[in-house]
């Protein structure tokens, strides 16, 4: 069985370090980074898919983490972007806590099993408090990328 690592779909240019932002600003900045990727066939449809998913239920999973995600015909393969918001933001998370760690994931609408496995693997990885602490102590996007790629 193929190992699905979130970092195999993450690129340094799709990692953000933000001191502060609101939910809309953070989401739009991540979407802008995602939509530059060649795997995105129709940026407007991808934006709509992410916002539609978010309107149906917040993807703030708790403990300071959000994973906005969607599947769309407008994507040929997984594309991942990441942001750390140093001062946190209101993401309407299930536990009401501010979100600091945001992974945004889009995939083709036919990638059902891989999509579920990738999300599950990411959620398990985000339970690693040592990794979260390392991310929160980073000072810029390049350091965030290094920590994400080197951690397993």
Active site residues: 69
| Distance, CA of 111 to CA of 5 (rounded, Å) | 15
Helix then strand count (H, E) for the chain reads 5, 6
| Distance, CA of 145 to CA of 135 (rounded, Å) | 9
In the block, residue with structure tokens 């001062």: 87
| Distance, CA of 147 to CA of 141 (rounded, Å) | 10
Bridge partners of 108?
72
């Amino acid at each position: 069985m193929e190992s699905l690592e979130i970092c195999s779909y993450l690129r340094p240019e799709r990692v953000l370090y933000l001191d502060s932002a609101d939910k809309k600003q953070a989401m739009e900045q991540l979407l802008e980074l995602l939509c530059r990727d060649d795997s995105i066939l129709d940026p407007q449809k991808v934006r709509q898919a992410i916002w539609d998913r978010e309107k149906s239920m917040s993807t703030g999973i708790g403990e300071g983490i959000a994973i906005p995600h969607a599947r769309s015909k407008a994507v040929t393969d997984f594309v991942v972007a990441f942001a750390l918001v140093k001062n946190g933001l209101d993401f309407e998370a299930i536990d009401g806590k501010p979100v600091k760690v945001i992974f945004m994931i889009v995939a083709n609408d036919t990638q059902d099993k891989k999509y579920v496995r990738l999300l599950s693997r990411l959620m398990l990885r985000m339970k690693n408090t040592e990794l979260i602490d390392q991310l929160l102590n980073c000072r810029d996007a390049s350091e965030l990328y290094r920590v994400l790629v080197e951690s397993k």
